[in-house]
């Protein structure tokens, strides 16, 4: 093959065409529409297409929106951290401690993904509700006399359900990262004087970091944008940013304002993801040796 710089450029260009088209059609153009629409205004059912910053003005002046956004971000971070806290030890056990039936355990860990998203959410309602599994059990044993009401229709129930939804999405990248760690590194670590705890902190965690970051990103995205779980399990105190956007499109028919809210969320999410994934890729660079 001849190493002609021009030839390579054309070749690389052709290679890049399908992915560019795909991105353009499915990501960039819809986003652009949203972006443009966020500068329109809505008057009842009529959309006024003159350029206006009023949607953004409402967002930045009415603290209701920013406070709900802030609440949603905090919840998404909390959910992501707790999902990792739940999935990481599980993935570590399956990858490092279990010798037989690892594939079966892996499948069992991601089996919730095979069940409809809505069914799993409703299932949690019947676990946490007044006549749900937990309350019935506690009432039957006699620990409580009245059903516990803090279980459902608040941020707690949203968080629990989101964590449950997110765990498989964290488990998969973390498990994959752990499987890539050569097993003789833990032997070497032990040989060089590190007990299991120190090996975990100094060897396993840094090497699993790319998987942990990917897991964090997945669960963060899921938790930040979700509106069905707050809708079904959140009650009045559980309105999240996703619900705000959805209500603009679904109830208020104020699409331009919904688009503006959506675009603000998108910008914030992209910024956070950009920061974390850059951190992740420098830490994870060695894996693509």
Partner 1 sequence: MKNSTAIKLENIQKKFNDFTAVDDFNVEIKKGEFFSLLGPSGCGKTTTLRMIAGLEEPTRGNIMLESEIVNNVPPYKRHVNTVFQDYALFPHMTVKKNIYFPLKMRKIPLPQAEPMIKKVLQLVNMEEFGNRLPQQLSGGQRQRIALARSLVNEPAALLLDEPLGALDFKLRIAMQKVLKDIQQNVGITFIYVTHDQTEAMTMSDRIAVMKDGRVHQIGNPDQIYNSPATAFVASFIGDMNFIHGRIVSKNRQEAEAYGNVFKFLNDKSDFTKEQDVLICVRTEKVQVNASREVDNSFDAELKRIIFRGVDYELTFNLNGAELRSIVSSLEWNQSIKTGTILKIGWNSDDVLIFPAEEERDIVKYSLDSE
Which residues are at the interface with partner 1 (CB under 8 A)?
A: 182, 184-185, 187-195, 198, 202-203, 206-207, 283, 286-287, 289
Buried b (16+ CB within 10 A) or exposed e, 237-254: ebbbbbbbbbbbeeeeeb
Give the residue with the Cβ less far from partner 1, 92 or 156: 92
By CB neighbour count within 10 A (0-12 exposed, 13-18 middle, 19+ buried), where does 33 fall?
A: exposed
- Smallest gap from Cβ 186 to partner 1, in A, equals 9
- Smallest gap from Cβ 201 to partner 1, in A, equals 11
Q: How far is CA 154 from CA 24, 44, 133, 160, 239, in A?
A: 39, 32, 18, 10, 9
Interatomic CA distance for residues 156 and 119, integer angstroms: 19
CA angle 14, 18, 20 (to 5 degrees): 95
Determine if residue 44 is left, alpha or beta; phi over 0 gives left, psi from -120 to 50 gives alpha, anything else beta.
left
- Smallest gap from Cβ 187 to partner 1, in A, equals 6
Transcribe 8-65 into DSSP letters: HHHHHHHHHHHHHHHHIIIIIHHHHHHHHHTTSEEETTEEE-S---HHHHHHHH-HHH
- Smallest gap from Cβ 278 to partner 1, in A, equals 17
- Smallest gap from Cβ 197 to partner 1, in A, equals 11
Give the residue with the Cβ less far from partner 1, 157 or 189: 189
Spatial contact of 158 and 229, defined as CB atoms under 8 Å apart: yes
Give the residue with the Cβ less far from partner 1, 81 or 203: 203
Give the residue with the Cβ less far from partner 1, 142 or 193: 193
Question: Residue 11: what are its φ and ψ, rounded to 5°?
Answer: -60, -50
Give the residue with the Cβ less far from partner 1, 141 or 192: 192
Give the residue with the Cβ less far from partner 1, 107 or 287: 287
- Smallest gap from Cβ 268 to partner 1, in A, equals 30
- Smallest gap from Cβ 91 to partner 1, in A, equals 18
First to last CA, the chain: 25
Helix (H, G, I), strand (E, B) or coil at 182: coil
Give the residue with the Cβ less far from partner 1, 30 or 285: 285
Give the residue with the Cβ less far from partner 1, 154 or 190: 190
By CB neighbour count within 10 A (0-12 exposed, 13-18 middle, 19+ buried), where does 204 fall?
A: buried
- Smallest gap from Cβ 210 to partner 1, in A, equals 10
């Amino acid at each position: 093959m001849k190493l002609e710089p021009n030839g390579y450029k054309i070749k690389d260009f052709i290679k890049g065409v399908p992915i560019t088209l795909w991105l353009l059609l499915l990501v960039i153009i819809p986003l652009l529409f949203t972006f443009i629409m966020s500068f329109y205004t809505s008057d009842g059912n009529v959309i006024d297409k003159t350029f206006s910053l009023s949607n953004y003005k409402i967002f930045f002046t009415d603290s209701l929106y920013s406070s709900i956004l802030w609440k949603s971000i905090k919840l998404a971070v909390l959910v992501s951290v707790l999902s990792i806290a739940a999935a990481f030890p599980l993935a570590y056990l399956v990858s490092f401690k279990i010798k037989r039936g690892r594939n079966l355990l892996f499948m069992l860990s991601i089996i919730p993904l095979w069940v409809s998203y809505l069914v799993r959410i409703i299932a949690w309602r019947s676990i946490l509700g007044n006549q749900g599994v937990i309350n019935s059990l506690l009432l039957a044993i006699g620990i409580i006399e009245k059903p516990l009401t803090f279980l459902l229709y608040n941020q707690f129930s949203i968080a629990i359900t989101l964590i449950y939804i997110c765990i498989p999405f964290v488990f998969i990248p973390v498990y994959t990262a752990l499987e890539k760690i050569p097993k003789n590194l833990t032997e070497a670590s032990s040989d060089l004087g590190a007990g299991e705890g120190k090996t975990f902190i100094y060897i396993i965690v840094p090497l699993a970091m790319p998987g942990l970051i990917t897991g964090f990103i997945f669960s963060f995205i899921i938790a930040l944008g979700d509106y069905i779980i707050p809708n079904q399990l959140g009650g009045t105190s559980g309105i999240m940013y996703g619900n705000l956007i959805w209500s603009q499109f679904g109830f208020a028919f104020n699409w331009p304002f919904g688009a503006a809210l959506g675009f603000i969320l998108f910008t914030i999410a992209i910024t956070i993801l950009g920061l974390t994934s850059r951190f992740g890729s420098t830490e994870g660079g060695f894996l693509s040796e």
